[in-house]
Amino acid sequence: MKTFVSACVLTVVSAFPAWSASVTNKDGEATVLVVVEGENRMEVAISAGGTESICPSGCFITTPSGDRIGLQGDETIEIVNGSAVVK
């Protein structure tokens, strides 16, 4: 019975989408964001007009203009002239 209950719980949990911040690059050229989640640092390239999902559990991003922004993971961000506009 425990196995059945555990399987049901895992199925329900995995059915919900993971929340993450959505970043859209409104600039005419590709841009690179530096994303830091905990101790992990990575660079995320976003093509002109492209959208990426990042930071499902919160992070800090650094934009090409040098802005450093803390995110919870549920924001919508637009990159405009190298700067982030959080909506």
Tell me whether residue 12 is in a domain: no
Tell me whether residue 6 is in a domain: no
Q: What is the pLDDT of residue 11?
A: 39
* Strands of the 59-62 sheet, one edge to the other: 40-46, 31-37, 59-62, 68-71
Count of domains forming the chain:
1
The mean pLDDT value for 48-65 works out to 95
Q: What is the pLDDT of residue 78?
A: 97
The mean pLDDT value for 58-71 works out to 94
40 is in which domain, residue-wise?
18-86
Tell me whether residue 11 is in a domain: no
Tell me whether residue 66 is in a domain: yes
**Model confidence at 75: pLDDT above 90:** yes
Task: Please give the structure tokens belonging to residue 57.
Answer: 């559990």
More confident call, 13 vs 44: 44
User: For residues 17 and 2, is the Cβ–Cβ distance under 8 A?
Assistant: no
Phi (first) and psi of residue 44, to 5 degrees = -115, 115
Tell me whether residue 32 is in a domain: yes
